[in-house]
Amino acid sequence: MPYAELEHKAAGHSGTLADGALVFKPLSEQELAWYRAVGQPEDTANSDEEDSGDVPLWRWMPVFLGTLDEGISQGADSIAAAGQAGATLLTTGETPAELGQTPAVSPPGQPAPTTQRYLVLENLTAGFRSPNVLDVKLGSVLTDSAAPPEKQARLAEVSRSTTSGPLGFRVCGMRIAPNARALACPAEQREPQGDYLLLNKHYGRARTPADVAGAFETYFSHPRLAPARRAQLQERFFQRLQLFYNTLLDSEVRLISASLLFVFEGDPSRWDERGDDDPLLPEELDGGESDDEDEDEDEDSAAIHDAPLSRLALIDFAHSTVTPGQGYDENVLHGVESLMDVFEKMDMASLRDP
């Protein structure tokens, strides 16, 4: 695969790749099924959602572009060649049968390739000059009953011993510009990564209900952002959490082990360029209407490339399902409620003076 590992990553497994605007996540059938069911507007002409006033679930998710099937030869020498030749981008318009049957190309005389498959997703950090990311895992129940008993027991213990249990959310990790609060954490909780500092899963698991607000204060304590901008971020994300809560009330899904990903711009020059303007949700890309108007092209590309100053997104659906008729997801709703509590009580003075 000619792509590099995703750099701006707050948590999770290795193997997710990135290339500018796109992220390639190793595919699981359940996550693919989720994105096919929920990950795109049902019909651009359909205005039901606008009528209800709520933000539809898909607008909180990275845009789902399709799948990538890559032929990987077993022989190390031919990995690059097979990767180039066998990579096939399928759009979301393809049928599931076609998705499952894309042939990978193997050079003559080489062993038959195995196929690594990826989900192709919008890169949520694209357009940010200096993205600061935070991954918050939602829910106190972290597995479904289909998981192996050993895994259920292990994750029940993780839930019990962290804020997942009592609060219904847990900080999984954050990758930020170093600040005094973050640098004061115990050594095993932080990993320097170039200009960034990763506060890892040990950091997140060590939070308690009493001190977890401090994790968000640490996240927002960016050394290059003026206090007013830090406060604006805190307020913006609080508003988004309230909007997202309303979305969840309307969504009949079961999110198991999904995360809220927080991203904000740490480079003050982009704040200056945008005059501190930061939309609640990323501008909607208006695909449907502009097809017949060539002069709209410039506008469209501007919308694609001009990232906001911060963004809240829902990610990681490898264990989630759509459950029509079963009402909202209490497990996750409780977590978002707790998060809103934390944001309400956050110590704004400490954001001004870290």
Given the rule CB under 6 A, which residues bind ligand ADP?
A: 6, 9-13, 16, 23, 25, 62, 121-125, 133, 135, 259, 261, 315-316, 318
E strand or H helix at 246: helix 227-249
Quick one: DSSP state of residue 74? S
Residue 9, binding choice from Mn ion, ligand ADP, none, Cβ under 5 to 8 Å by partner class: ligand ADP
Of 10-18, 91-99, 224-232, 233-241, the window that binds Mn ion (rule: CB under 5 A) is: 10-18
Binder among 31, 54, 217, 316 for Mn ion (CB under 5 A): 316
Q: Quote the CA–CA distance of 206 and 163 in Å, as a whole number.
A: 9
Binder among 12, 166, 209, 268 for Mn ion (CB under 5 A): 12
* Cα–Cα separations (whole angstroms), residue 225 to 75, 229, 268, 311: 49, 6, 6, 16
Q: Would you say 278 and 236 are in contact if contact means Cβ atoms under 8 Å apart?
A: yes
Residue 10, binding choice from Mn ion, ligand ADP, none, Cβ under 5 to 8 Å by partner class: ligand ADP
- How many residues lie near Mn ion (CB under 5 A)? 2
Q: Would you say 55 and 246 are in contact if contact means Cβ atoms under 8 Å apart?
A: yes
The one-letter amino acid code at 117 reads R
Beta carbon of residue 259, minimum distance to ligand ADP (angstroms, whole number): 5
Residue 54, binding choice from ligand ADP, Mn ion, none, Cβ under 5 to 8 Å by partner class: none
- Burial of 325 per CB tally in 10 Å (0-12, 13-18, 19+): exposed
By beta-carbon proximity to ligand ADP, the closer residue of 73 and 132 is 132
Cβ partners under 8 Å of residue 304, min gap 6: 21, 285
Residue 133, binding choice from ligand ADP, Mn ion, none, Cβ under 5 to 8 Å by partner class: ligand ADP
Beta carbon of residue 293, minimum distance to ligand ADP (angstroms, whole number): 30
Beta carbon of residue 228, minimum distance to ligand ADP (angstroms, whole number): 27
For 269-280, give the DSSP string: HHHHHTTT---S
Beta carbon of residue 61, minimum distance to ligand ADP (angstroms, whole number): 8
- Does 54 interact with Mn ion (rule: CB under 5 A)? no
Q: Where are the beta strands (DSSP E) in 123-184?
A: 131-138, 169-176
- Does 31 interact with Mn ion (rule: CB under 5 A)? no
Binding-site ranges for Mn ion (CB under 5 A)? 12, 316
